[in-house]
Amino acid sequence: MKLDRRLVIKILEEKIKSEGIVLGSDILKVDSFLNHQIDPFLMSQIGQAFAEKFSHENISKVLTIESSGIAPALMTSLQLQVPMIFARKHQSRTLNEEFFSASVYSYTKQTENQIAVSKRFINPGDRVLIIDDFLANGQAVQGLLDIINQAGASAVGVGIVIEKRFQAGHQLILSKNLPLVSLASIDRFEDGQVVFSKQGETSHVN
């Protein structure tokens, strides 16, 4: 049965309104269902929504960054029946082989991280879908694109659970001519409340 993506978006937006906490003028905390405690039923629907939207792209890998992107990326890869890879933010003792790496600035934490993916897991010819929980200034996506380019693979699209449309990430991705699907698109924060874009889901898919 085909997923009603509009219903998934409505459920996601209601979750954000009822459980999200706005901090200052540009931070949204959603740790009750997305990036600390996980709502598995909602994540399953989100994964199906992304998989259906990008089903024509012949995807071979789904790529994200630890840790908040793992839940939606895993559910997407399950629907697409392809492996999911997450870039590690810190080199572990077991990651002693050659790896692709990139520098990523975290807007929320205001720190810079080196992210890394083993060269065994992304290969030339791979068609890679990037999935992440938030899109703000687009630095996480840029870092993942750098790794994909180092591997000689192709980025075929970007799926975002929650997009802060008022920040630079949206235009950054579109400037690279990449298909972008953002399920919940936030126009602004006003008096401690989330104001969603009147456009609803933003979708720029070839």
Residue 37 is assigned to a ligand binding site: no
DSSP state for residue 92 in the 8-state scheme: -
Residue 200 is assigned to a ligand binding site: no
Residue 137 is assigned to a ligand binding site: yes
Quick check: 203 and 5 in contact, CB under 8 A?
no
Residue 138 is assigned to a ligand binding site: yes
Query: Tell me, what amino acid is at 97?
Result: E
Helix (H) or strand (E) holding 5: helix 5-19
Quick check: 96 and 87 in contact, CB under 8 A?
no
Distance CA 164, CA 169 (A): 8
Residue 28 is assigned to a ligand binding site: yes
Residue 136 is assigned to a ligand binding site: yes
Instruction: Detail the residues annotated as belonging to a binding site for xanthine.
Output: 28, 35, 164
Instruction: Detail the residues annotated as belonging to a binding site for 5-phospho-alpha-D-ribose 1-diphosphate.
Output: 136-140
Instruction: Detail the residues annotated as belonging to a binding site.
Output: 28, 35, 136-140, 164
